[in-house]
Structure 1
Amino acid sequence: MKPVAIITGASRGLGRALATGLAEAGWRLVLDARTPSDLAAAAESIGGAVGDVVAVPGDVRDPAHRAALLDAAGEVDLLVNNAGILGPSPQPCLTAYPLDVLREVYEVNVLAPLALTQLALPALRSRAGAVVTVSSDAAVEPYAGWGGYGSAKAAIEQASAVLAVEEPAVRVWWVDPGDLRTRMHQEAFPGEDIGDRPLPETVVPAFRHLVTSRPPSGRVRLAGLTVPA
């Protein structure tokens, strides 16, 4: 029987790359994104090659949508909390950060993945599963202009660390994929050429090695992970 993964934010960028990598490794996937047409296109592309891909469009902040993801999965071996938002582009300094926007950044990047993790935990416990939450070096480095996004990622990293202590039967990893050539990264640097950043697909081998080798729970820098040849 194929292992089952839920991946949020899977219509493009890193989420789509990770979904493709798991599908090629024989996983059954339940994919989430907010834009139905983009998610359908991604699911068709991934499923057309390997099959067993279910698209469930919606907003991870919506409790009904989170329940629908779990219903579509049935059993869950892996939850990948990848969906996130940057906030304003260009990013403002904290002294000028609109608080209503900051609340949204925290809703999407902290509360929604925690809520989905809570919902998935009974299944993950029963199958000795794992939670991967995508973070950033902005969670640990004080970059000017990154106070909103970075502090949200710092919050979800700390929540992940506590969850790892509280749930010893489940692997919990918070991963820093490094700077990648994605739309979100471009939004962080409007008008700049980010063509020197690697594509998201470059970290897929490290990600697959992580979920198959199952090291102890903790923070993982994907670009620095040694992958056997």
Structure 2
Amino acid sequence: MPVAIITGASRGLGLALAHGLSDAGWSLVLDARGAEDLAAAAEQLPGPVRAVAGDITDAGHRADLVAAAAELGGPDLLVNNAGVLGPSPLPALSDFPLDGLREVYEVNVLAQLALTQEALPALVDRDGAVVFVTSDAAVEPYPGWGGYGSAKAALEQIGKVLAAEVPALRVWVVDPGDLRTKMHQDAFPGEDISDRQLPEAVVPAYVKLLTERPESGRVRL
């Protein structure tokens, strides 16, 4: 069975992907900061699952995730899904608190690169793949999205360069579109976001991506 590490897997897109990959026959290593929510998520899944709670900004936790994947046979896929929005309501860049911006970059860029570095030797050995979850805010100048969007833009460039430097690895930067998640609700406090599609709606496209294994690049679902 192929093995995937999915970060931010206790809810939203990460949890939906965990269900989709488990149904497709994958073994999973799931990450999230909340241990109780992560354990509850893992209990819903039928296949081999390791729930490893922790913060991806912590080096020890990143090592634990890769070690858990090794116990299942070694990682074939890393889904860098975990992330933070930053302050809510979304502030303009002129008022953006720099401590908040540092956290956004720490989680959404540096920690994701660090986890990728940790898993990279095993992924290359297994002809594996990396998914970086991005956003249209990385390429469009939406007011209020300067912090989150610029971090995702940096992550996209990391994905492009990684693909050029490690051609044996598939690196997909995937934009799933606007989804009905807690993070998206936090971006629009008090607004009705029921018109956005549920995360489960994009899971078949992810499974198709993993099955067809196209060349590295940006993918808009």
CA positional deviation for 1:97: 0.2
**TM-score, L = length of structure 2:** 0.98
Q: Hey, what does 1:143 align to over in structure 2?
A: 142
C-alpha contact 2:25 2:47 (8 A) present in aligned 1: no
Q: Hey, what does 1:71 align to over in structure 2?
A: 67
CA positional deviation for 1:212: 1.0
Q: Hey, what does 2:165 align to over in structure 1?
A: 166
Partners of 2:13 and 2:124 in 1: CA distance: 26
Matches within 5 A, 1:62-141: 62-74=58-70, 75-141=74-140
- SS of 2:87's equivalent? coil
Matches within 5 A, 1:203-214: 203-214=202-213
Q: Hey, what does 1:225 align to over in structure 2?
A: none
- SS of 1:5's equivalent? strand
**TM-score, L = length of structure 1:** 0.95
Aligned residues: CA RMSD: 0.4
CA positional deviation for 1:51: 2.3
Paired amino acid for 1:52:
P
Paired amino acid for 2:152:
K
Consecutive unaligned residues in structure 2, runs of 5 or more: none
Q: Hey, what does 1:226 align to over in structure 2?
A: none
Consecutive unaligned residues in structure 1, runs of 5 or more: 223-229
- SS of 1:84's equivalent? coil
- SS of 2:28's equivalent? strand
Partners of 1:20 and 1:60 in 2: CA distance: 21
Partners of 1:40 and 1:86 in 2: CA distance: 24
Partners of 1:56 and 1:167 in 2: CA distance: 28
- SS of 1:88's equivalent? coil
Deviation digits for residues 130-172 of structure 1, max 9, x if unmatched?
0001000000000000000000000000010000000100000
Partners of 2:132 and 2:180 in 1: CA distance: 19
Q: Hey, what does 2:28 align to over in structure 1?
A: 29
Paired amino acid for 1:122:
P
Which aligned segments of 4 or more residues in structure 1 are displaced greater than 2 angstroms? none
Partners of 2:83 and 2:21 in 1: CA distance: 20
Tell me the number of residue pairs that the alignment of Structure 1 and Structure 2 aligns.
218
Partners of 2:211 and 2:5 in 1: CA distance: 16
Residues 1:54 and 2:54 are matched in the alignment:
no
Partners of 2:162 and 2:141 in 1: CA distance: 24
Q: Hey, what does 2:196 align to over in structure 1?
A: 197
Paired amino acid for 2:90:
Q
C-alpha contact 2:89 2:186 (8 A) present in aligned 1: yes
Q: Hey, what does 2:7 align to over in structure 1?
A: 8
